[in-house]
Amino acid sequence: MKILIVEDEKELLKSILTYLKTENYICETASDYKTARQKIESYNYDCILLDVSLPGGNGLTLLKELKADKKTDGVIIISAKNSISDRIKGLNLGADDYLTKPFHLSELNARISAVIRRRHFEGHKILVFHELTIDLAAKIILVNNKAVDLTRKEYDLLLYLAYNKNRVISKNAIAEHLSGDEAEIFDNFDFIYTHVKNLKKKLQMAGCGEYIKSIYGMGYKFDV
Amino acid sequence: MKLLNKTIRSYLIYSFTILLVTIPLFYFVVKTVLLHSVDRSLRTQLRDIRSNLNSIRSQDELDAWSKLDKDISLAPSGENFEDSIYTVYRFTHKHHRNENEPYREIAGIITVGGKMYKLVVSSSLVENEDLLGSILMVQTILLILLMAGLLWINQIISKKIWQPFYTALSNIQQYQLNKKSQLSFRQSDTDEFNELNQAIKNLFSRSHEIYIQQREFTENASHEMQTPLAIFQSKLELLMQTIPLTEEQALLINSLETTNHRLIKLNKSLLLLAKIENNQYSSVDDVHITLLTEKLIEQFQPHTERKEMTVTKHYSEDPVVRANNTLIEILIGNLISNAIRYNLEKGKIIIDINKKSFTIKNSGLASPLPPEKIFDRFYKENGSGGDEESIGLGLALVKRICGLYHFDIEYTFKDDLHCFTLFF
């Protein structure tokens, strides 16, 4: 999988690169408009992370050009602007997703995985971890080929953990992922604890190994 | 008291005093002058009589003369005395009625044929009095007319002169810092007013400029803050992945992350406030309050369930407001989340919606909050039962959004329930 990261903040770029390293992606970077444009024109990427404000131009212009060239690269816009109109504008231009700064790397990773899977495994989107199978199309999970009944939140939680497998995800990141903007209002993470506890119980009862581990109360890790 | 009335009042008092003083003064002056002229003519008459006395030769002639002239009375006198002038009142029969009329008389001694007579020459003062009356009346009318006219003219001129002042005043009254308005100042021919207008204009434009700058600064600062916050967050996440990770490190990372999360929240709220001030939520829709409330309650359900709260809803109508959807969602959302956040375990929330208002009541602290403070930015109630993470911007946002759409928000505390009412 080839990914292009267009981001002018060097430190953020480094963080993203480090986080994505374990995913076996081939990552290329561009930190200004010109470089980004050259790379987009010359190569095809599975996913492009596109910062909107770039030195030398606007990320959205790149997106327009990309779509005009009938390229099918998946695009996730990263923007400091969090207004609905900007979001709609980005998505209307053909972006697959829109993420506002500051974001969690685990969230970014989950979104990249989702975009890539949407583009490459059409009709047959399945994640398998030993006895555990997640069917992305049907939104169900199977343990030893037997369906496990999960609530929507539990399913989302498991998928989020699975996308970020073998990495610690903070409770904050999970809270934001599960409840969206609402997490900005409440700081109480008890509900995550409840969701995790229920999820673990259901998986365990279905005969699944204990892959979800709590890391010193800081967050959780899907260890496979 | 109005400015015009104030100046006119002084004029009025002055005019009135002058009027009161001058009319009697004038009366006495004119009366004295008239009396003086009567006295002079009486003296002349007496002198003329004395110088013509030698033409009278007999007693009969004297009697005849004194009878002919009604203004003269003659009586024999035994002693000599100086001429004297005095005023007497005599009853006379005139137009079928008796009137007490004033007369001026001069009395003197004349000698006719070796005999002394007392001669009295009198002159009626009635005409003088009438004349005096007429003069006085004309004078009074004239004075009153003059003063009334002066006052009237003064008032008209004052009004006209002060007109620019009143225009300026109404301009200042209408001025709103957050709205750029084209204020029209009328060019006046009074230098002071032109200077005043110029000063006001400068003041307005400078305040507006500073306001805009400050507004933009908040927004820019919040924007700029996002990148370092994002970097910080990403580094923390990478730090979490490091191996080996001890519990001590994990706890530190956790508290760092919580703090950073709080910073991010604070920054977002500030940005939101700045955006509202900068009119970046100008698009409006029909917002259905009841539908929105239902949606939000459903969203917050995990939290109400966790605290085992009872939520009671009374919807008598579904009010529709023309406003920005996002802002109204923040408005209602903040009110509901506050009601959850500052509530007790197993507490209650009561929501009432009718055509004109949205009311939310919740149990919580047993004492009322200070209504004048709770809407302030960064106001936090100690021991309010909410989490420590509160940043104190929720109600400030509520207030700001209400201000934007001219809604009224009211806080009351009754029956141990904190009640916020929103009037559309």
pLDDT at B173: 85
My answer on whether B301 and B219 are in the same domain is no
CA dihedral angle for residue A115, residue A121, residue A122, residue A123, rounded to 10 degrees: -120
pLDDT at A11 > cutoff 90:
yes
pLDDT at B186: 74
Please provide the average confidence, as pLDDT, over all residues in chain B: 85
Domain ends where: B228, B250, B277?
B277
My answer on whether B117 and B220 are in the same domain is no
Please confirm whether the linkage preceding B244 is cis (ω < 30° from 0): yes
Q: How many domains does chain A have?
A: 2
pLDDT at B239: 93
pLDDT in tens, B290-312: 999 998 888 888 788 888 889 99
pLDDT at A31: 92
Instruction: Decide: A86 and B326 in contact? Cβ < 8 Å.
Output: no
CA distance B226 to chain A (A): 6
Question: What's the mean pLDDT in A9-32?
Answer: 91
Query: For B224, which residue in chain A has the nearest alpha carbon?
Result: A80
My answer on whether B143 and B37 are in the same domain is yes
Q: Among A174, A215, A218, which would you mutate to test the B interface (most chain B Cβ atoms within 10 Å of its Cβ)?
A: A218
pLDDT at A104: 92
My answer on whether A41 and A110 are in the same domain is yes
pLDDT at B305: 84
Least-confidence region, from B92-101, B392-401, B405-414: B92-101
pLDDT at B385 > cutoff 90:
no
CA distance A164 to chain B (A): 11
Taking Cα atoms as reference points, which of B423, B241, B397 lies closest to residue B321?
B423
Query: For B324, which residue in chain A has the nearest alpha carbon?
Result: A84
pLDDT at B371: 80
Least-confidence region, from A151-155, A184-188, B328-332, B373-377: A184-188
pLDDT at B381: 66
Put simply, the answer to whether A173 touches B230 (Cβ < 8 Å) is no
Question: What's the mean pLDDT in A170-186?
Answer: 75
**At B147, phi and psi to the nearest 5?**
-70, -45
pLDDT at B386 > cutoff 60:
no
How far from B178 is each of A3, B30, B210, B212, B214, CA to CA, in Å?
A: 46, 70, 11, 8, 11
Q: What is the pLDDT confidence band of residue A183, given thresholds at 50, 70 and 90?
A: low
pLDDT at A124 > cutoff 70:
no
pLDDT at B197 > cutoff 80:
yes
Whole domain around residue B356: which residue ranges? 285-423
In a domain, B39, yes or no: yes
pLDDT at B389 > cutoff 60:
no
pLDDT at B164 > cutoff 90:
no
Please confirm whether the linkage preceding B164 is cis (ω < 30° from 0): no
Any idea what the Cα angle at residue B102 is, between residues B99 and B108, rounded to 5°?
A: 135
Query: For A169, which residue in chain B has the nearest alpha carbon?
Result: B237
pLDDT at A157: 93
Report the half-sphere exposure of B420 (CA within 13 A, side-chain side): 25
Instruction: Decide: B314 and B361 in contact? Cβ < 8 Å.
Output: no
At what angle are helices A84-92 and A59-68 packed, to 10 degrees? 30
The Cα diameter of chain A in Å comes to 56
Q: Is B242 helix (H, G, I), strand (E, B) or coil?
A: coil
My answer on whether A114 and A7 are in the same domain is yes
Give contacts of A 99-158 with B, CB under 8 A: 101-106
pLDDT at B190 > cutoff 70:
yes
pLDDT at B151: 80
Least-confidence region, from A159-163, B151-155, B237-241: B151-155
Q: Is B96 helix (H, G, I), strand (E, B) or coil?
A: coil
Give me the CATH number covering residue B132.
Answer: 3.30.450
In one letter, which amino acid is A10? K
Q: Which chain B residues are closer than 8 Å to A101 by Cβ?
A: 226-227, 229-230
Whole domain around residue A40: which residue ranges? 2-120
Report the half-sphere exposure of B84 (CA within 13 A, side-chain side): 7
In a domain, B168, yes or no: no
Taking the C-alpha atoms of residue A71 and residue A48, their distance in angstroms, rounded to an integer, is 12
My answer on whether A114 and A199 are in the same domain is no
Q: How many domains does chain B have?
A: 3
Domain ends where: A120, A146, A163?
A120
Neighbours of B120 (CB within 10 A): 19
What is the ipTM for the molecules in this complex? Answer: 0.89
Q: What is the pLDDT confidence band of residue B205, given thresholds at 50, 70 and 90?
A: confident
My answer on whether A36 and A103 are in the same domain is yes
Please provide the average confidence, as pLDDT, over all residues in chain A: 88
My answer on whether A6 and A79 are in the same domain is yes
CA distance A70 to chain B (A): 32
Question: What's the mean pLDDT in A122-148?
Answer: 85
pLDDT in tens, B38-59: 999 999 988 888 888 777 777 7
B307 touches chain A (CB under 8 A): no
Domain ends where: B247, B277, B307?
B277
Question: What's the mean pLDDT in B269-289?
Answer: 85
pLDDT in tens, A81-105: 766 777 888 889 989 999 988 899 9
How far from B125 is each of B45, B73, B135, B139, CA to CA, in Å?
A: 16, 17, 15, 20
Question: What's the mean pLDDT in B76-84?
Answer: 83
My answer on whether A147 and A195 are in the same domain is yes
A194 touches chain B (CB under 8 A): yes
Size of interface A-B (CB pairs under 8 A): 110
- Element housing B295 (H / E): helix B289-299
In a domain, B179, yes or no: no
Give me the CATH number covering residue B366.
Answer: 3.30.565.10
My answer on whether B198 and B335 are in the same domain is no
Of B226, B235, B245, the CB nearest to A80: B226
Give me the CATH number covering residue B216.
Answer: 1.10.287
My answer on whether A63 and A132 are in the same domain is no
Domain ends where: B277, B295, B328?
B277
pLDDT at B229: 92
